[in-house]
Structure 1
Amino acid sequence: MRKLLAILALCCALPAAALQFTDDRGATVTLARSPQRIVSLLPSLTETVCELGACRRLVGVDRYSNFPAPVRALPQVGGGIDPNIEAIVALRPDVVLMARSARGAERLESLGLKVLALEPQTAADAQRVLLTLGQLLEVPDAPRVWRDIDAGVAAAAQSLPPAVRNARVYFEVGRGPYAAGPRSFLGELLQRLGMRNIVAPELGPFPLLNPEYVVRADPDLVMMGARDAPDLRQRPGWAGLRAVREGRICVFSPDEADVLVRPGPRMAEAARLLARCIAAKGKA
């Protein structure tokens, strides 16, 4: 009996297994336990943490994180390109989640904070990030969460009639113009919905295009956010685009644009928004 009690005492004294990850910088990040205080500097990461049931662990977010509603009440600590280092440190986070391209990681680490850089650009990236955060947060049903997202995308694709498929699409993600290429998560969503992207794959996920590129491609369908739509016809040559002439333009509200440009748990909702646009504006 004494031997059994000694074994139990030893087991209880052993520290819990550390959590170790290789992030998108290639850096190894080790945490003694699942973090209880998290700062997120990327909206898609904020949304993923909340989708995994850990919103209460967030103690600070970037200025663009606005969903779900509870995160709007959290302290804002700048953005990916201008993080407020002092404000982040003051929140005493166990880990800071940020994009690989964000600034400040080395500074935060030099101050003793753990930084995990994760930046999804494709659907596979979004799945990997969700599963990684599931491990970080010790959420055992994270794979089910992803399956539900993927099933929602599949259902949106199945809702479209064959007559509207194979349209040539241009999706503008921002002024420049910056486009969603076929290798981006948005391009992949469009492909799953049966669309053809006018952007060449070799240009990358979100290339900056010469406006003449779009004029030469002459897409059947144009998609963009409401902020960029007002001057569409004033762009040189764009008034003659087939999509513009025929009114085949989908304009998304700021809230809808947030859903569409964030590769995270709302990807099924993004697919439904795209499908609704295609059904309404697609060429039958």
Structure 2
Amino acid sequence: MPFWTVGLASAQTLVDDRGVAITIDKPPQRIVSLLPSLTETVCALDACDRLVGVDDYSNWPEAARQLPRVGGLEDASVERIVALRPDLVLLAKSARVTGRLEGLGLRVMALEPKSMKDMERVLGKVGQVLGREPQAHALWRQLDAGVSETAAQVPKRARGKRVYFEVNSAPYAASESSFIGETLARLGAANVVPASLGPFPKLNPEFVVRANPQVIMVGDRNAVALSARPGWDTIDAVRDNRVCVFTAAEGDVLVRPGPRMVEAAQIMARCLEKHFP
């Protein structure tokens, strides 16, 4: 049962990822989401109809594509957000507009999952906010089971292979402590980027050369001329052409910590199976 009843006088107080307490007296009906993973989470809990605006990058599910756009992480338009009259704005901890929105009296909740534990917590918290906590818990169990089912189908030969997952060409990588790294671990892969560097560290390219991954996973925009990077032609994955290049749509699935995590696991599992059947 939700933590409130329609017409209930008492309010519910939740703490967001900034440690800020947010008081909510009833489930919000006009939500602006400024993070694609949060947009997808709201929709996965059958509340897409409560979204009145989204960031420029929210493109799934199809219903989200039809909503008004209010900018991105760095350039969200306060004016456009205010004009949508939201009773809740969901955004990342790093969003620049948080203070301005709160200064204008808008209710803001920052939720930014980086690990699977975070994903479970954020899904549950969004479920609480929407008055759909039981559905959120049920969805998490379904997602977690789906990843385990995918992992069970990974060929034994692929297990233990050294994998480098590049998030951005700086290069930024997904380490063992990120949700991507945790998914790789559940698939039986050995991530060459340790958790001690943080979830998504910026690496010296020489680090990857020394780590010598057997498989590289990278988006199509960053995959151009991998072998032209100094020393990278000596990496096993590059030399043996074990590089999985993901489309932009696949990249969205992979780098968003949300309800498409099973699909993300399946994409990575197919990569491992392709090179180590």
Q: With structure 1 as the length reference, what TM-score do the two structures score?
A: 0.93
In the TM superposition, what whole-angstrom CA distance separates every residue of 1:150-199 from its partner, at most 9, and x where no partner exists?
A: 01100110001212100011000011000000000000000000011111
Distance 2:125 2:262 in 1: 20
The answer to whether the Cα contact below 8 Å between 2:56 and 2:69 also exists between their aligned partners in 1 is yes
Distance 2:158 2:179 in 1: 21
Alignment-derived partner of residue 222 in structure 1: 216
Partner SS for 2:22:
strand
Alignment-derived partner of residue 267 in structure 1: 261
Partner SS for 2:218:
strand
Alignment-derived partner of residue 37 in structure 1: 30
In the TM superposition, what whole-angstrom CA distance separates every residue of 1:76-120 from its partner, at most 9, and x where no partner exists?
A: 101112110010000000000000111111110110100000000
Distance 2:250 2:171 in 1: 19
Partner SS for 2:71:
coil
Distance 1:58 1:152 in 2: 27
Partner SS for 1:49:
helix
Q: Which amino acid aligns with 1:42?
A: L
Tell me if 1:180 matches 2:174.
Answer: yes
Q: What's the C-alpha RMSD, in Å, of the aligned pairs?
A: 1.4
Partner SS for 2:89:
strand
Alignment-derived partner of residue 93 in structure 1: 86
**Which residues of 2 match residues 118-133 of structure 1 at below 5 A?**
118-133=111-126
Alignment-derived partner of residue 238 in structure 2: 244
Q: CA deviation at 1:14?
A: 6.8
Distance 2:19 2:96 in 1: 16
Deviates more, 1:43-52 or 1:230-239: 230-239
Distance 1:65 1:213 in 2: 33
Tell me if 1:171 matches 2:161.
Answer: no
In the TM superposition, what whole-angstrom CA distance separates every residue of 1:212-245 from its partner, at most 9, and x where no partner exists?
A: 1001111111000011111211111111211111
Q: CA deviation at 1:15?
A: 3.8
**Equivalent residue in structure 1 for 2:76, among 72, 80, 83:** 83
Alignment-derived partner of residue 61 in structure 2: 68
Aligned length in residues: 272
Q: Which amino acid aligns with 2:272?
A: I
Partner SS for 1:141:
helix
Alignment-derived partner of residue 4 in structure 1: none
**Equivalent residue in structure 2 for 1:59, among 33, 52, 72:** 52
Alignment-derived partner of residue 95 in structure 2: 102
Tell me if 1:142 matches 2:101.
Answer: no
Distance 1:94 1:13 in 2: 16
Distance 2:81 2:158 in 1: 48
The answer to whether the Cα contact below 8 Å between 1:183 and 1:201 also exists between their aligned partners in 2 is yes
Ranges of 4+ aligned residues in structure 1 off by more than 4 Å? none
The answer to whether the Cα contact below 8 Å between 1:250 and 1:281 also exists between their aligned partners in 2 is no
Structure 1: segments with no counterpart, 5+ residues: 1-11
